Structures are given as C-alpha cells and as structure tokens.
C-alpha cells in the first residue's frame, strides 16, 4: 500500500524537466527490487535502440561509399 501511494505521489508531484528519471532514482533508493524493473529494463531498451541505430548508420555509409 505504501509503495502504491509512493508511485502515485511520484507521478503527481514531479513536474520537473525529467520527472521519470527522478522517480527512477527515488524508487532505486527505496526499493532494490524496483531497481531491476524500473532502471535496468529501460536501460536495456535504450542500449538495443542505440545498437540498431548504429548498425543502420553503418549500413547506409557503406552503401553510400560503394
């Protein structure tokens, strides 16, 4: 119950430049289990996206050179 209310508080009260990042950091400091779900999963998604973009750019550059 406390965890749920904290999530609600986090969503409602944080209207800064990057509320999601703030929420992740705050949750990380409170609950190590949430660290895996809230921080690592988005991080993996970001890494995958970056890798895909790099591969596409390399393919385009190689095709342009040839």
What is the Cα–Cα distance from 43 to 47, expressed in whole angstroms? 6
Integer Cα distance of 30 and 38 in angstroms:
12
Q: How confident is the model at residue 57 (pLDDT cuts 50, 70, 90)?
A: very high
Cα distance between residue 13 and residue 7, in whole Å = 10
Tokens (6 digits) for 48? 């995958």
Tell which wins on pLDDT, 26 or 56: 56
pLDDT at 36 > cutoff 80: no
Sequence ranges of the domains in the chain: 2-65
């Amino acid at each position: 119950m406390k965890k749920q209310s904290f999530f609600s508080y986090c969503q409602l009260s944080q209207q800064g430049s990057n509320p999601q990042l703030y929420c992740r950091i705050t949750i990380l400091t409170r609950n190590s289990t949430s660290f895996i779900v809230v921080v690592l999963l988005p991080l993996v998604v970001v890494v995958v996206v970056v890798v895909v973009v790099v591969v596409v750019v390399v393919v385009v550059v190689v095709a342009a050179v040839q």
